[in-house]
Amino acid sequence: MTAFARTAARTAVALAALWSTAAVAGPFPFFEPPTPRAAPPAIEEPTNSAELPANLRRQVVAYATSEAPGTIVIDTPHTYLYLVLGGGKAMRYGIGVGREGFTWSGTQTITRKQEWPDWTPPPEMLHRQPYLPRFMAGGPGNPLGARAMYLGATIYRIHGTNAPETIGHQVSSGCIRMVNDDVTDLYGRVNVGTKVVVLPMGRHHEAAARSAPAAIVPPAEATPAPTAASWRPFWMN
């Protein structure tokens, strides 16, 4: 047998032994597929985890008023927002209002609307609460929530919240807050220029105390939150 034949025979025996071992032990390590990486957690759409009491849920109610259809009336002492529909009806929403010393009243108009608004605390708020951020991008962790409607040239807004348990309470620095589902619904019903009447503490609209629910309205479909947003701590605004 020639040297070449002997080398070929030894090579064949070695390869046979190697493949026999591989059949028992499994594939070669350098042929193992890469371990798949776990996908990063998705950013969740903000939800209103706190179940609102029945009287604070969005509903059509009987509401006698001299205001024109399309007007917003803020019933501060009863923490209701009414959108006048006409025909003795209004859409009523539960809201959070200014805490003691921060309520206000008067007539304004909606001058700007914003989806998933950024938050820049005004100087007055930073003076009282210097630990607040100077700027916060819009997203689920933003205290302005899913929508904001800016009132006149004031620092006040009707906006969403990431703290739905505050609805029905006097909690803010003067802004009107709503759960995100409700502020999204209202946002889609009103336009820039809408009249907003804010009633003072100690007074309510003619029919507010005796209004009764006529129908429950399903929530509107919400626009997804910006995918780049991340969770941030909640600050009261």
pLDDT of residue 123: 74
Catalytic residue chosen out of the listed positions 127, 169, 175, 204: 175
**Active-site pick, 127, 159, 169, 205:** 159
Confidence (pLDDT) at 45: 46
Q: What is the spatial distance between Cα 157 and Cα 144, in angstroms, rounded to a whole number?
A: 9
What is the third-level CATH fold of 55-216?
A: L,D-transpeptidase catalytic domain-like (2.40.440)
Question: Among residues 158, 157, 140, 110, which one has the least CA distance to residue 229?
Answer: 140
Predicted pLDDT of residue 7: 61
Looking at residue 19, what is its pLDDT? Answer: 53
Active site (annotated) includes residue 205: no
The pLDDT value recorded for residue 102 is 84
Q: Which residues contact 23 (CB under 8 A, 6 or more apart)?
A: none
Does 127 qualify as catalytic in the annotation? no
Strands of 80-86's sheet in order across: 176-177, 157-159, 147-151, 106-115, 195-198, 72-75, 80-86, 89-94, 59-62, 213-216
4-24: pLDDT as tens digits: 556 656 666 555 555 555 444
The residues spanned by each domain of the chain are 55-216
C-alpha–C-alpha distance, residues 193 and 139, integer Å: 26
pLDDT for 47? 47
pLDDT (0 to 100) of residue 51: 76
- Residues in the chain where the model's pLDDT stays below 70: 1-50, 119, 122, 125-126, 131, 133-135, 203-237
